[in-house]
Amino acid sequence: MSIATKSPEDIVKMRVAGRLASEVLDFIGPHIKAGMATDEIDRLCHDYMVNVQQTVPAPLNYAPPGYSPYPKSICTSVNHVVCHGVPGERKLKTGDIVNIDITVIKDGFHGDTSRMFYVGPPSVQARRLCEMTYECMWHGIAMVKPGARLGDVGHAIQTYAESNGFSVVREFCGHGIGRKFHEEPQVLHYGRPGTGWVLEAGMTFTIEPMINAGRADIRALADGWTIVTKDHSLSAQWEHTVLVTDRGYEIMTVSAGTPAPPAFAALPHA
């Protein structure tokens, strides 16, 4: 099996889709506050995507094999929710942490990114988890260059997370992306260096580690989508869409409000 690389024309369109996805997060950030229902966050994001950006919310009615159609336009994963949290009547409380995951479609291409947000001042543990998860993502991104292997990316993430006393969710991973929401390859957030697919210029995929404050074990809720930590510990996730360039990588999900990379990661690294 081979992994399709993107043409220069594809890459131009993916930069646009990635920027637009990131701009949704820029837009929604100031709205996130205690007392706001996650359904309201979804409504605001949906209206912004459809009416302002003229993009298509990729998650809405998305139905991979074995799943019922996803009922909302974004994912809102609060506290111990690992991923795919379905927006609803739940209201945010002071001290909550929430991941907002955005995927838009523009001119046939997908842009996919997520960020963590604090609802008021977080606990010391919650802040450390969110900051360390962001660094985990960047440790993975920093390994991306032609000739590297996906196992190098996963190993960098796993090593950093576990050396800081956190655990890596293994059941969910990053993925290739382009005209399809989910393409090859699967990008594991753990692994052994020197194993897995060899990276080539023109590949595009997400790096989106899910890191738990407690054990790595997870379970699915009855809605068929929402994934939570089995021990009810906090979980965090960050996500960028990444392009493999001739010399390294390019982050495709960048906008005015994108958080700066950590000091150890150079951006751009193209």
For the segment 44-55, what is each residue's pLDDT rounded down to a tens digit?
Answer: 999 999 999 999
Q: DSSP label at 53?
A: I
> Quick one: pLDDT at residue 66?
87
DSSP one-letter code for 31: G
Q: Tell me if 263 is assigned to some domain.
A: no
Q: Tell me: pLDDT of 269 over 60.
A: no
Q: Report the alpha-carbon distance of residue 129 to residue 69 in Å, rounded.
A: 31
Structurally, how many domains does the chain consist of?
A: 1
**Domain presence at residue 121:** yes
Whether the predicted pLDDT of 2 surpasses 90? no
Q: What would the two tokens of residue 235 be?
A: 């979980």
Quote the mean pLDDT of the chain: 96
What per-residue confidence (pLDDT) applies to 222? Answer: 95
Give per-residue pLDDT as tens, 184-229: 999 999 999 999 999 999 999 999 999 999 999 999 999 999 999 9
* Average pLDDT score over residue span 37-41: 98
The range of the structural domain enclosing residue 17 comes to: 8-251
Q: Per the domain annotation, does 261 fall within a domain?
A: no
Does some domain include residue 267? no
Mean pLDDT, to the nearest integer, of 113-136? 98
What confidence tier does 265 reach under pLDDT thresholds 50, 70, 90? confident
Whether residue 133 lies inside any domain: the answer is yes
Residue type, 27: F
CATH number of the CATH domain containing 91: 3.90.230.10
Report if residue 49 sits inside a domain. yes
Confirm whether 239 is domain-assigned: yes
Contact 139, 157 (CB under 8 A): yes
**Tokens (6 digits) for 152:** 């190098």
Task: Name the residue with higher pLDDT: 269 or 105.
Answer: 105
Q: Is residue 270 part of a domain?
A: no
Q: Coil, strand or helix: which one is 105? A: strand
> What are the tens digits of pLDDT across the range 244-264?
999 999 999 999 999 999 988
Helical residues (DSSP H) of 117-203, grouped into ranges: 124-141, 150-163
